Amino acid sequence: MLTSSASLLTFSRPPRFLPIDAKGESFDKIRVEMNVTVEDIKRDPESIFHRVVEGETLVVTQQDRPIAEIRPIESVRKPRPFGLAKGTFVVPDDFDAPLPEDVLKDFE
C-alpha cells in the first residue's frame, strides 16, 4: 500500500528492480515494479496514471495477490533494417511483366 503525506512516500513493500532486457543485453536500464492496491487506484486514480506516464510499472494487488499489471506502452518502434529478409526469397525477372489475358479476365 502506498501512503503519501506532503513530500513523504512510504511503501508497505520495497520495490523490485528488474532488468528491462530479459536476454541480459542491456543491464544499464532498470524498470521499477511497484505494488498498488485496488483501493489505492479507487482513492487516487490520477496519481496512479501520472506514475505510469512517468514510466513506472505497477502491479495491482487485491488481498495481497497480484491481479494485473499497469505499464507504459512502448511507443518508440525502431524501423526495420534494410536487407532483413535478404536471401529468403527471389523476385522473378518477369515480376512486373503484364499478366496473361486469362488472368486479367478473372479480374473483370
Q: How many domains does the chain have?
A: 1
Is 90 contained in some domain?
no
Is 59 contained in some domain?
yes
Is 35 contained in some domain?
yes
**Can you give the pLDDT of all 108 residues of the chain as single tens digits?**
444 433 344 444 444 444 444 454 444 444 556 889 999 999 999 999 999 988 889 999 999 899 999 988 876 677 888 888 888 888 889 889 998 999 999 988
Is 13 contained in some domain?
yes
Scanning the chain, the segments in alpha helix (DSSP H) are: 38-43, 45-53, 101-106
Is 106 contained in some domain?
no
In the chain, % helix, strand, coil (3-state, to 5) comes to 20, 30, 50
Is 50 contained in some domain?
yes
Whole-angstrom distance, CA of residue 4 vs CA of residue 1: 10
- Structural domain for 35, as ranges: 2-70
